[in-house]
């Protein structure tokens, strides 16, 4: 009888963690997360040929292997747009030694050329024409404002969207966490 009791206890010790892990995974969802941005179901950025505002060819495949902050906008860039472009630049710079792992892309949906002083201020950002493309549709927010910052992972998938009025300090924390724990990019 003692042998059966030991066997049952041993089986319970081995099986209970498995049952508990399945229950936690399928039945329990935490109320809060540590990330600031809204996690999205990953969707691939379409592999289509685009061009920069200077007329040079551009493809998102060129950013594969790096984390990419993307702002989709109409290109007429008011004060709010300039602020978001500034946030993207500062969030990247705040990563210190990891800033080379991050790219910046501004998807412009109109044919207007952004002001020269703005282009100089955001030097290093890929300014890409994407009017009527599947790439622009991949970054559609679904809200009245089509202006939002998205994060694309090194595998080329849109994974996160930041609020319409983002807090750059919280964005910096998100990316610091990613740079620390991710072996990608």
For 53-93, the pLDDT digits (tens) are 888 998 888 888 899 999 987 767 888 889 999 999 999 99
Compute φ and ψ for 106, nearest 5 degrees: -115, 110
Taking CA atoms, 21 is separated from 27, 63, 122, 145, in Å, by 10, 37, 47, 40
pLDDT at 112: 77
In the predicted structure, residue 170 carries a pLDDT above the cut 90:
yes
**CA neighbours closer than 13 Å in the CB half-sphere of residue 5:** 2
Taking CA atoms, 58 is separated from 19, 68, 109, 155, in Å, by 49, 14, 15, 17
pTM of the entire structure? 0.79
The C-alpha torsion from 128 through 134 and 138 to 139, rounded to 10°, is 40
pLDDT at 88: 94
pLDDT at 70: 93
pLDDT at 86: 93
In contact, 149 and 70? CB cutoff 8 Å: yes
DSSP state of 99: G
- Name the percent of the chain lying above pLDDT 90: 30
Listed in sequence order, the DSSP H helices in the chain are 2-27, 79-93, 116-121, 134-138, 168-181
Measured CA to CA, the distance from residue 10 to residue 152 in angstroms comes to 46
pLDDT at 143: 53
pLDDT at 144: 47
Higher pLDDT, 47 or 31: 47
pLDDT at 185: 61
Which CATH number fits the domain 35-181, given the four candidates 3.40.50.300, 3.90.1720.10, 3.30.420.40, 3.40.30.10?
A: 3.40.30.10
In contact, 66 and 154? CB cutoff 8 Å: yes
Angle at 60 between CA 111 and CA 144, to 5 degrees: 55
pLDDT at 68: 94
Average pLDDT taken over every residue of the chain: 85
Taking CA atoms, 120 is separated from 43, 87, 114, 125, 127, in Å, by 32, 15, 10, 10, 11
User: What is the enclosing helix (H) or strand (E) of 57?
Assistant: strand 57-58
Instruction: Report residue 130 as tokens.
Output: 């994407």
When pLDDT is cut at 50, 70 and 90, the band that residue 27 belongs to is confident
**Would you kindly state where each structural domain of the chain is located, as residue ranges?**
35-181
105-162 tens-digit pLDDT: 998 887 778 888 888 888 899 998 887 778 877 887 655 456 789 999 999 899 999 9
10-25 tens-digit pLDDT: 888 898 888 888 888 8
């Amino acid at each position: 009888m003692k042998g059966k009791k030991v066997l049952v206890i041993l089986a319970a010790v081995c099986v209970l963690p498995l049952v508990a892990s399945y229950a936690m995974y399928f039945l329990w969802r935490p109320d809060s997360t540590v990330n600031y941005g809204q996690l999205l179901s990953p969707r691939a950025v379409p592999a289509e040929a685009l061009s920069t505002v200077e007329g040079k060819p551009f493809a998102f495949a060129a950013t594969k292997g790096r984390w990419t902050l993307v702002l989709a906008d109409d290109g007429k860039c008011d004060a709010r747009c300039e602020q978001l472009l500034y946030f993207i630049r500062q969030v990247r710079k705040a990563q210190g030694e990891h800033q080379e792992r991050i790219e910046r892309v501004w998807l412009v949906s109109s044919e207007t050329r952004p002001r020269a002083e703005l282009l100089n201020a955001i030097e290093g950002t890929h300014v890409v024409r994407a009017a009527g493309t599947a790439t622009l549709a991949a970054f559609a927010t679904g809200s009245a404002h089509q202006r939002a910052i998205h994060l694309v992972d090194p595998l080329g998938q849109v994974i996160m969207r930041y609020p319409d009025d983002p807090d750059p300090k919280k964005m910096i924390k998100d990316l610091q966490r990613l740079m620390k724990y991710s072996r990608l990019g």
